Structure 1
């Protein structure tokens, strides 16, 4: 027992000596952290109205940098935070892409982004499903996005950008105006029976895999298309208003002190399959909770997702909608 105590004290002494060195390095590191706050382009929204769109080429720090945090809030024209009971921030995603550095004639019938190449995160979802880097929703307020030192998200590396191209960023957003709605909860959940769906909607709409949308689809992103309208209380009237996303980015200039961190977006709806040694991921992004016929009031959704690469988990958070109790991430190492 005495040997163990001495060993513990010896280790603690080393830790304290190391920590004083780390502290001085940390203060020097913090002096180089930069930050900037930006405001996105405005978008108009009315009571019960859905805004689901991409805000292209958002402002972003220039140069070869390491991003330490990316925080977002939904604001009105005066810069005030909007209460979630008035406007529900379903999600915001920050997506990276490169585009040719050429000027476009806005009068010409051409798509300025027809040559764009979109770069997704290193997560396991298929195709364009959950391609973002940063992204949350109504849980944004109060959720820290700070990445601990010495890690950072490397962006703007000139070696990764072909000559004649530019690295750019966009917001993909869904915002639902809940003022005056018959039922705020069902509107924020995008329940199909609450929205003014076009005639024969289920016959002409496809799901996330490009297949016809099932008539059994009760609610989700496909019933919350841009400019769809949720049912309002009879006689309710209120003016439309302009909103925007305010976002703060902190970063450091990239040098040998930073360790690059990678994003891995995982999905609890991922229906993982294996064919021999091949792993096939089939993320759904959303699913219908089955009716509970038992005594347990909770439904648990699990996914076992194998990862090709190892590493350190340095930060994690979950994007959840109303009704979710919590989310947990467990790791298991296989040798």
Structure 2
């Protein structure tokens, strides 16, 4: 019996060595071929990237642009989006620094266009108000948006009869050149805009001192006299956006669902059957006791339910100036992601001193961070309360993939260079 076992072990070892040798040979052959063969754009699994410009918007010192552009340029067909990056540029294509034009936010959403407009939203609880697929603010230049392999955001899978999938962009920007108080302008303080009614003509409540209802399109923040009527033409600006994608039929892609969580949604706390997403909130200045103990931190928490669970493959928070960090926790208290702001230290675009110029992101190893169907997550948003901040936000953007979909795509080991090819499971499963 012992001799037979030794023979079986020896045979298995020979088999493993053969598998390894075959794998190494194939990899070597393909790598060698890569030096003589460059795939064409028609080759399978080729990452495509294209840069587009939004329609122009125009700003003078103190001015506000909050524009909605429909049927914008975007990749067409059934594809997997791998990244989306946006930036505000001038006519020459030069990035405009935040201390000249503050990018409050940009949002990108799909919809079905035809006899009517049918929104397409993400899977988050606040999708009626925060239904976008992509969106960032001042942090746009230094926040990673890459969707890790083998995952992708599926678009273009089909539209109702008589409709086609289209895309819209919302850009909200504030020109702070010559502003009497730049922070008041960027935080949309109502007194800085001398406004008492919102965009729909309704009177703004006495308790509302600042936020998006006070810095809508075509308003003007208070500027110094030299900039008030200087006779210069408005500045012509664009949102420049770069999209990377794979054709769905050419790649092995695991689709993800998008969840956007809002720390102002108190529905689960209140026992309400419907989400109550206010999008923004106010941070009040800390009291003397907190200041004396160096504890001027405003911590806001809420609970949000994820309707359909899976593997968390990407996560990032969205905070405004004054933000200290945000975290997301599972129902049992485990940490799912911690996302921290990056503050600039200079004057150049992408590093503007005092502004949030980036947010750290979470890229868990596939299968290591999971959420369950219907799991209630806890979100924490921290801001400095050394002074009052108005119109701040605390959002979390997460991508979740089905467990089973990952498992279905796992039996083969696939490569994308020099072209799309896969090894059968029997050649590699025992090597991993």
* Map of 1:36 onto structure 2: 50
1:244 shift after superposition: 0.3
Contact 1:93 1:134 in 2 (8 A): yes
Match of residue 252, structure 1, among 227, 246, 256? 246
* Map of 1:130 onto structure 2: 130
Distance, in Å, in 2 between the alignment partners of 1:187 and 1:77 is 24
Match of residue 89, structure 1, among 103, 120, 140? 103
Q: Does 1:222 align with 2:209?
A: no
- Seen in structure 2, the aligned counterparts of structure 1 residues 64 and 30 have a Cα distance that, compared at 3 Å, is closer
Q: Does 1:47 align with 2:61?
A: yes
Match of residue 197, structure 2, among 197, 201, 205? 201
Contact 2:188 2:214 in 1 (8 A): yes
Q: Does 1:182 align with 2:192?
A: no
- Seen in structure 2, the aligned counterparts of structure 1 residues 30 and 141 have a Cα distance that, compared at 3 Å, is farther
Distance, in Å, in 1 between the alignment partners of 2:94 and 2:200 is 40
- 2:246 partner SS: strand
- Seen in structure 2, the aligned counterparts of structure 1 residues 205 and 273 have a Cα distance that, compared at 3 Å, is farther
- Seen in structure 2, the aligned counterparts of structure 1 residues 202 and 69 have a Cα distance that, compared at 3 Å, is closer
Contact 1:50 1:227 in 2 (8 A): yes
Moved over 4 A (4+): 27-31, 202-206
1:105-148 residue CA offsets vs partner (Å, 9 max, x unmatched): xxxxxxxxxx101111100116x311111000100001110000
- 2:208 partner SS: coil
* Map of 2:143 onto structure 1: 143
Contact 1:33 1:251 in 2 (8 A): yes
* Map of 1:163 onto structure 2: 161
Distance, in Å, in 1 between the alignment partners of 2:119 and 2:60 is 31
Distance, in Å, in 2 between the alignment partners of 1:323 and 1:239 is 33
Contact 2:198 2:213 in 1 (8 A): no
TM superposition score normalised by structure 1: 0.80
Deviates more, 1:47-56 or 1:307-316: 307-316
Q: Does 1:231 align with 2:222?
A: yes
Distance, in Å, in 2 between the alignment partners of 1:311 and 1:261 is 9
Distance, in Å, in 2 between the alignment partners of 1:92 and 1:204 is 21
1:130-172 residue CA offsets vs partner (Å, 9 max, x unmatched): 11110001000011100001100000012xx112211000111
1:260-317 residue CA offsets vs partner (Å, 9 max, x unmatched): 11110100111123788x7432111111223422412110111111222211111111
Q: Does 1:116 align with 2:117?
A: yes
Contact 1:93 1:173 in 2 (8 A): yes
Distance, in Å, in 2 between the alignment partners of 1:190 and 1:133 is 25
CA RMSD of aligned residues (A): 2.9
Alignment of 1:257-276 (within 5 A): 257-273=252-268
1:83 shift after superposition: 0.4
* Map of 2:319 onto structure 1: 320
- Seen in structure 2, the aligned counterparts of structure 1 residues 274 and 325 have a Cα distance that, compared at 3 Å, is closer
Distance, in Å, in 2 between the alignment partners of 1:119 and 1:138 is 25
Distance, in Å, in 1 between the alignment partners of 2:199 and 2:237 is 33
Distance, in Å, in 1 between the alignment partners of 2:112 and 2:223 is 41
* Map of 2:234 onto structure 1: 240
Q: Which runs of 5+ in 1 are unaligned?
A: 1-12, 103-114, 207-211
Contact 2:101 2:176 in 1 (8 A): yes
- Seen in structure 2, the aligned counterparts of structure 1 residues 30 and 270 have a Cα distance that, compared at 3 Å, is farther
- 1:299 partner SS: strand
1:76 shift after superposition: 0.2
Q: Which runs of 5+ in 2 are unaligned?
A: 1-15, 333-371, 376-432
Contact 1:202 1:215 in 2 (8 A): no
Contact 2:198 2:214 in 1 (8 A): no
Number of aligned positions between the proteins: 294
- 1:135 partner SS: strand
- 2:191 partner SS: helix
Going by fraction, where is strand more abundant, 1 or 2?
2
1 or 2 for the larger relative contact order (CA 8 Å, sep ≥6)?
1
Q: Please identify the structure whose Cα radius of gyration is greater.
A: 2
Distance, in Å, in 1 between the alignment partners of 2:199 and 2:134 is 34
Distance, in Å, in 2 between the alignment partners of 1:213 and 1:260 is 43
